[in-house]
Structure 1
Amino acid sequence: MFTSVVEDHSEEGDYSDEDLRIEESEGDADDGESESLAAQAANAEPPDPIVEPNQAGDKQPGGPIALIQIDKINLTLPILPAATEANLRVGAGHLSSTAEIGAAGNAGIAAHRSHTYGRQFNRLDEIGRGDIVKVTTKTGEQVYEVFDLNVVVPEDTSVLTPFGDDAVITLITCEPMINPTHRLIVHAKRIS
């Protein structure tokens, strides 16, 4: 028996828990499907260096660690404790190998930018230098100001290098939104 997740979208960009349902179908791995899966795997693109490997149960325990808000693009999104595929389906993920959010260093925060996963970072390309990003953690609200934007290849992890003693967040998403080949990077420095 094979289990698959089926997505139903009543309106483009809208996404809710009801949009996912699990379907089961009877099947035998020897019906030629395993050969086609092997062929797909052989032709698959290399894994995204930003997406972290699956961890115990994929989602990390404890739920969101913060909430990101960017008023200019009408965005409010939970930040989950790892950038796993499961977490990126429902929110943003904090890259576990980067600084803690709000601490000195560079905290990486990744989110999808496609209709597949809802709105998330879809409009991130509309913000610019001087725009404000708010992050609320259990210790309170932190305010960041955008100081740099650029587009890089997915393998370029230098964007996560710390900026001295400053507390910086780096927002990471796919570019362009459809058939992405690069990553849109937004750096914001904590101002309060």
Structure 2
Amino acid sequence: MKHAARWTGNILVLAGIGLLIWQFTGIRETKGVKHEQLDAFANLKAAAEESGQATKEAAAAGGQQTGKQAAEKKIGDIEGVLDIPQIDIHAPVAYGATPEILDRGFGAIPRMDMPGETGGSYAIAGHQSHVFGQFFNRLDELTNGSRFSLETVDEEQTYEVYDMRIVDPEDVQVIGPEQGKAKLSLVTCYPKNSDKHRLVVMAERVDEEAGE
């Protein structure tokens, strides 16, 4: 009997060690992906700045300026970097809200407006509870008046929270545009470890660079 108990104890210890190794490996992989995405975004921003400078120089030299063409978005492309110091978030945002993207971080919901566009709406989704990362685990700590930023390749945009709601998953109109606001919504499942509802944090752009 003691022998069997000892074997059971050993198996449980080994299982616990295996679980810790699995979690550590997963967290390290998630962090690695995050750093790769941040590096990719930095390179993208540098290329955009270089292209913009070249366009200005060509225009100053009398060259023909063709106008800025919006590149077609592809699922997985890095849209920007979300920074919410209040809840320790500084992470890239990829285009798309597929399970693969949300398993690694944050995803911009497709087919919405450009971020920072007055009268438009942009939304970022993320898990609230995930074994390999914190993601939006502390999103419910934000309150009306909380501020955060979204850095795009063109600029850094500042947003201020003006409403928070818990809604049904089908209640998608909550992230729709509102007249006069450059709206950005942060969306996650609610409560933790459940997808019964959605927690939606709505914010509007408050800096002087808000788009028209």
Do they fold alike, i.e. is TM over 0.5? Answer: yes
Conserved 8 A contact 2:125-2:188: yes
Please state if 1:75 is matched with 2:89: yes
1:89 is paired with a residue of what secondary structure? helix
* Aligned residue among 52, 71, 80 for 1:66: 80
Q: Give the letter for the 1:69 counterpart.
A: D
1:65 is paired with a residue of what secondary structure? strand
Please give the per-residue CA displacement for 1:108-147, whole angstroms capped at 9, x wherever unaligned.
1101111334111110000100000100000111000000
Please give the per-residue CA displacement for 1:46-102, whole angstroms capped at 9, x wherever unaligned.
xxxxxxxxxxxxx825x3110101111111121101111111111211111221111
In terms of mean alpha carbon deviation, does 113-122 or 138-147 score higher?
113-122
TM-score, normalised to structure 2, is 0.63
Q: Higher Cα Rg: structure 1 or 2?
A: 2
The answer for the alignment partner of 1:107 in structure 2 is: 122
2:86 is paired with a residue of what secondary structure? helix
The answer for the alignment partner of 1:153 in structure 2 is: 168
Percent identity over paired residues: 33
Rounded Cα–Cα distance in structure 2 between residues aligned with 1:135 and 1:76? 10
- Between structures 1 and 2, the one with greater strand share: 1
Conserved 8 A contact 1:109-1:172: yes
Please give the per-residue CA displacement for 1:154-176, whole angstroms capped at 9, x wherever unaligned.
11101121111311101000100
* Aligned residue among 178, 185, 199 for 1:184: 199
* Aligned residue among 120, 126, 130 for 2:145: 130
Please state if 1:141 is matched with 2:165: no
- The number of residues matched between the two structures is 146
Rounded Cα–Cα distance in structure 2 between residues aligned with 1:82 and 1:178? 22
* Aligned residue among 164, 182, 191 for 1:167: 182
* Aligned residue among 6, 9, 28 for 1:16: 28
Q: How much is the aligned-residue C-alpha RMSD, in angstroms? A: 2.4
Conserved 8 A contact 1:68-1:79: yes
Conserved 8 A contact 2:167-2:199: yes
- Superposed, 1:23-42 pairs within 5 Å as none
Q: Give the letter for the 2:107 counterpart.
A: G
* Aligned residue among 46, 69, 94 for 2:108: 94
Conserved 8 A contact 1:98-1:160: no
Please state if 1:85 is matched with 2:99: yes
Conserved 8 A contact 1:60-1:80: yes
Rounded Cα–Cα distance in structure 2 between residues aligned with 1:159 and 1:177? 20
- Between structures 1 and 2, the one with greater helix share: 2
